[in-house]
């Protein structure tokens, strides 16, 4: 009862933004419900003079429900199938992730882009867009405006990829008899799952390949998703070390329990449960409702983040992050193509 008294109004406001955004995302999958929810939240919050009655629920949604979304995301991962079918793309995935993180780090240093924004854009570009940002934000204690900015940058280049990559693939001479090469390209070079799906499906329809490209791209994309685990753990230890130094200087003690991303362990546990259940003969569709709930929770959390974001400030400070996103995007695309050429995939 006390929980609802404190958070109820904010939760209802987030739901009021998230539900129509969820359905709008179904109609416009290239944009996606998460981006629509952030934009809607940023616009609606400008109309609310006093947000204090909603503050508790908005904060709970943007922090806790975001972590629950990542945990539930694990139920969409069959580790055995992903590792078995994703081995061909693994060298490309490792190369593209490394490229994006290095570019983000170098631009963070040279252009003095804030550390949290740099981490979110680097991770979002290299792994899986909004899902990776959702997993990373609590680990590095990113605020809502930083998350909104990173999501906005990723979204912009997602849309460009979905529009340009099928034409680009035709220009480069990808094999049109099978979806293998372009599927790997889409799965490694496009950021968010929705845009990977749109890009691969476009290639399938261009060359009447059924769902061959889409199946390949999604498998590669899910393999990339596993990189959330080591990267978030490394970021957690980096943050712990940094805060330990700061707290020692101030004479305080740090608790690793407060920083360690335990929700990532639950994410791993969910993946293991899925893998074991499917190996024992459970139908693949059994986890579909949980996967859909995970996606809705991300939309719900993004609505809360939008409601906590100053759109004017976001636009004012958006130049450097867009440059970073562009550099990461170009770097990932280039490395994916070079690695595929070296491996003889196209």
SS (H, E, C) the chain: CHHHHHHHHHHHHHHHHHHHHHHHHHHCCCCCHHHHHHHHHHHHHCCCCCCHHHHHHHHHHHHHHHHHHHHHHHHHCCHHHHHHHCHHHHHHHHHHHHHHHHHHHHHHHHCCCCHHHHHHHHHHHHCCCHHHHHHHHHHHCCCHHHHHHHHHHHHHHHHHHHHHHHHHHHHHCCCCCCCHHHHHHHHHHCCCHHHHHHHHHHHHHHHCCCCHHHHHHHHHHHHHHCCHHHHHHHHHHHHHHHHHHHHHHCCCCCCHHHHCCHHHHHHHHHHHHHHHHHHCCCCHHHHHHHHHHHHHHHHHHHHHHHHCCCHHHHHHCCHHHHHHHHHHHHHHHHHHHHHHHHCCCC
Residue 251's pLDDT band, with cuts at 50, 70 and 90, is: low
Q: Would you mind telling me the total number of residues written for the chain in this entry?
A: 346
**Position 264 in a domain:** yes
Residue 155's pLDDT band, with cuts at 50, 70 and 90, is: confident
**Position 84 in a domain:** yes
Query: What number is the average pLDDT over the span 295-324?
Result: 89
Query: What number is the average pLDDT over the span 127-146?
Result: 89
* CA 60 – CA 57 distance, rounded (Å): 5
Query: Residue 92 pLDDT more than 80?
Result: yes
Q: What is the pLDDT of residue 249?
A: 60
| Lowest-confidence pick of 82-96, 251-265, 320-334 | 251-265
How much is the pTM? 0.85
**Position 141 in a domain:** yes
**Position 61 in a domain:** no
> For 319-335, how does the pLDDT look when each residue is reduced to its tens digit (9 = 90+)?
899 999 999 999 999 99
165, 186 contact by CB (below 8 A): yes
Number of domains into which the chain is organized: 1
Query: Residue 23 pLDDT more than 80?
Result: yes
| Two structure tokens written together for 224 | 């990339």
Query: What number is the average pLDDT over the span 15-33?
Result: 89
**Position 49 in a domain:** no
**Position 13 in a domain:** no
* CA 84 – CA 129 distance, rounded (Å): 23
183, 213 contact by CB (below 8 A): yes
**Position 281 in a domain:** yes
Q: Residue 189 is part of which domain span?
A: 77-294+312-342
**Position 304 in a domain:** no
**What is the maximum span of the chain, computed from C-alpha positions, in angstroms?**
66
CB within 8 Å of 152: residues ≥ 6 apart:
35, 38, 314, 318
């Amino acid at each position: 009862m006390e929980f609802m008294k404190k958070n109820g109004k904010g939760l209802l406001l987030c739901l009021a933004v998230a539900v129509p955004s969820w359905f709008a995302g179904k109609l416009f999958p290239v944009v996606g419900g998460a981006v629509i929810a952030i934009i809607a939240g940023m616009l609606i919050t400008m109309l609310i003079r006093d947000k204090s009655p909603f503050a508790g629920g908005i904060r709970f949604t943007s922090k806790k429900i975001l972590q629950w979304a990542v945990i539930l995301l694990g139920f969409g991962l069959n580790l055995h199938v992903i590792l078995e079918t994703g081995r061909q793309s693994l060298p490309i995935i490792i190369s593209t992730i490394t490229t994006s993180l290095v570019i983000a780090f170098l631009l963070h240093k040279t252009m003095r882009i804030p550390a949290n924004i740099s981490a979110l854009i680097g991770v979002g570009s290299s792994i899986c867009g909004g899902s990776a940002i959702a997993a990373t934000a609590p680990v590095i204690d990113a605020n809502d405006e930083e998350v909104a900015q990173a999501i906005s940058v990723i979204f912009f280049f997602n849309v460009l990829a979905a529009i340009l990559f099928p034409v680009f693939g035709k220009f480069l001479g990808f094999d049109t008899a099978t979806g293998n090469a372009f599927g790997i390209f889409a799965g490694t070079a496009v950021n968010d799952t929705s845009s990977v799906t749109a890009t691969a499906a476009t290639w399938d329809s261009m060359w009447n390949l059924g769902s061959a490209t889409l199946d390949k791209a999604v498998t590669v994309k899910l393999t990339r998703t596993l990189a959330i685990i080591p990267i978030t753990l490394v970021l957690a230890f980096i943050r712990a070390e940094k805060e330990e130094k700061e707290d020692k200087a101030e004479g305080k003690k740090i608790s690793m329990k407060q920083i360690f991303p335990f929700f990532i362990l639950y994410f791993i546990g969910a993946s293991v449960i899925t893998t074991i259940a499917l190996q024992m003969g459970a139908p693949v569709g059994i986890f579909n409702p949980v996967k859909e709930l995970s996606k809705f929770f991300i939309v719900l959390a993004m609505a809360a983040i939008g409601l906590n974001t100053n759109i004017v400030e976001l636009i004012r400070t958006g130049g450097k992050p867009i440059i970073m996103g562009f550099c990461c995007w170009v770097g990932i695309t280039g490395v994916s193509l070079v690695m595929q050429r070296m491996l003889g995939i196209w």
